[in-house]
Amino acid sequence: MLQVKYARKMSNQSATPATPLRVRPVPAFADNYIWLIEAPGRPGSVVAVDPGEAGPVETELDLTGSQLAAILLTHHHPDHIGGVTRLLERGSVPVIGPDDGRIPVRTRTARDGERCELPELGLAFDILAVPGHTLSHIAFWGHGALFCGDTLFSAGCGRMFEGTPVQMNASLSRLKNLPPDTAMYCGHEYTAANLKFALTVEPGNRAALDYQEKVRSLRDAGAPTLPSRMALERQVNPFLRCDEPAVRDAASARAGRRVDEAAEVFGVLRAWKDQFR
């Protein structure tokens, strides 16, 4: 069985190597992405992030002759964990996920502040607790990449099923403060619809308008809009911009009263987006 090590982080700086990861998207269901990370330390081996269904992953493994070496899970929703049991029939691999009884397929628990190391694969990720979409949601950050499930999307964020606006806003602030060149791999292709909402909140946001053009041509070509970069998200994602005057004003107009505090602005935006078509 593959070795999984945990270390307590000693500082806020990630010590993982700067070599960029090679990551392939495997589209699943209507708009999910399962991410396959190529293991730098073991060519031909891959780590699957959030395999909600097994079929597309099996097809990709068979086509490329790759071996599944580990599975990372960000949260318990079926469209993120549903394929694990069938994938394990190909061979037992570590399944690393948050401390949550709703993830019975998990073999290793990853907790906030730990560094999860897969030394034989040449991989190491810092674990960030990011409650809000679900209470036990975690994100994996390492090698300049962030795997954040349904917490942060490009130009948007996940629905707040279990957390409070204060919790989810704090989780998003944590992600927003990662290095600007962090490559953000989220769980869904929602970018185009998210930008429509972003531009309703901030119609004059030049970066969002430019991004909308780029996203349109990517989607016309059938290409994913991901990964995104944290620097771009900070410019275009209204949920990361709750302290921007234009976003506060839009939230206040929507609420019909003055909202200034970032978590409150976030709560108004999230409720607005839930109604937005």
Q: Which residues are catalytic?
A: 75, 77, 79-80, 133, 150, 188
Alpha-carbon distance of 161 to 176, in angstroms, equals 21
Q: Rounded to the nearest whole angstrom, what is the least distance from the CB of residue 202 to Zn ion in the complex?
A: 26
Torsion angle, CA of 163/164/168/173, rounded to 10 degrees?
Answer: -150
Nearest to 260 by CA among 275, 271, 270, 245: 245
Q: Which part of the chain contacts Zn ion (CB under 5 A), choosing from 1-9, 117-125, 145-153, 241-249?
A: 145-153
3-class state of residue 46 by DSSP: strand
Q: Rounded to the nearest whole angstrom, what is the least distance from the CB of residue 71 to Zn ion in the complex?
A: 16
Q: Rounded to the nearest whole angstrom, what is the least distance from the CB of residue 153 to Zn ion in the complex?
A: 11
Q: Which is nearer to Zn ion, 31 or 243 (CB)?
A: 31
Q: How many residues of this chain interact with Zn ion, rule: CB under 5 A?
A: 2
Tokens standing for residue 163? 């957390």
Residues 70-129 that bind Zn ion (CB under 5 A): 77
201 in Cβ contact with 207 (< 8 Å): no
174 in Cβ contact with 218 (< 8 Å): no
Q: Which is nearer to Zn ion, 115 or 133 (CB)?
A: 133
Q: Rounded to the nearest whole angstrom, what is the least distance from the CB of residue 126 to Zn ion in the complex?
A: 21
- In this structure, the strands spanning 67-72 and 95-97 are parallel
Q: Which is nearer to Zn ion, 77 or 270 (CB)?
A: 77
Tell whether residue 264 is a contact of Zn ion (CB under 5 A): no
Q: Which is nearer to Zn ion, 31 or 210 (CB)?
A: 31
Q: Which is nearer to Zn ion, 77 or 143 (CB)?
A: 77
Which of 50, 53, 126, 150 lies at the binding interface for Zn ion (CB under 5 A)?
Answer: 150
Q: Rounded to the nearest whole angstrom, what is the least distance from the CB of residue 77 to Zn ion in the complex?
A: 4
3-class state of residue 84 by DSSP: helix
In our burial notation (b when 16+ CB lie closer than 10 A, e otherwise), range 143-171 reads bbbbbbbbbbbbbbbbebeebebebbbbb
Which positions lie near Zn ion, rule CB under 5 A?
A: 77, 150
